Amino acid sequence: MRPIDSICLCLLACLMTCCKARDNACSVAQQYFFKRVDKIDLSQFYGLYITLRGKNSDGSMRIRAIELRLENGERIGIPGYEFDVKEASPDVFSNIIKFAKHFGQKEEDAMSFCIEYCRKMTKIVNKLRVQEIKSNLELGEFIIFRFSSDCALVYKKKNANVKNSKWQSVFSDKNKISEQWYFLKF
């Protein structure tokens, strides 16, 4: 065997080992997730896009932003961290009011509602140990729970409306792991 062949075989073995380790990490994340997700009302995530950034002083994940993505294409974003909500600039404060009104809150209660909402979502995200939660109602009624840069679980009720053809193909039997859950590998 030529030295170059040996090097190629070693590289291939390393790549396969890395892929297997990533698959195992995704599998462990899924098992952990399913143990905790049963106790959570998933409907609260429809239309939300939650992105994380760094960690809080206690080691928990910090939400960078929470954005509502509505069917009509409107997007309403608020800071995802309690301190950032309290220190919001006037243009961000107008989004805080819109966000709170979307949930039926009065304008004078918008700030306290959004602070509590951020606290609640931070607890849930940390309980589920996800990196991101995405749902865009323009695309359809489904929620993506991302665990890493290369794997996610997607929740879709049996007869939920999926408007985007790319996403319709995701909801095939090959990706299905249970009645309402699909595995997505990037």
pLDDT for position 106:
97
Structure tokens at 24: 């195992």
Residue 104, domain member (yes or no): no
What is the pLDDT confidence band of residue 19, given thresholds at 50, 70 and 90? very low
Residue 56, domain member (yes or no): yes
CB 100 within 8 A of CB 3: no
Range of the domain at 73: 37-81+126-185
Residue 21, domain member (yes or no): no
Reported as a single tens digit per residue, the pLDDT across 125-184 is 999 989 999 999 999 999 999 988 889 999 999 889 999 888 988 898 888 988 899 999
pLDDT for position 108:
96
Residue 114, domain member (yes or no): no
Residue 54's region, left for phi above 0, alpha for psi from -120 to 50, else beta, is left
Domains contained in the chain, number: 1
Residue 96, domain member (yes or no): no
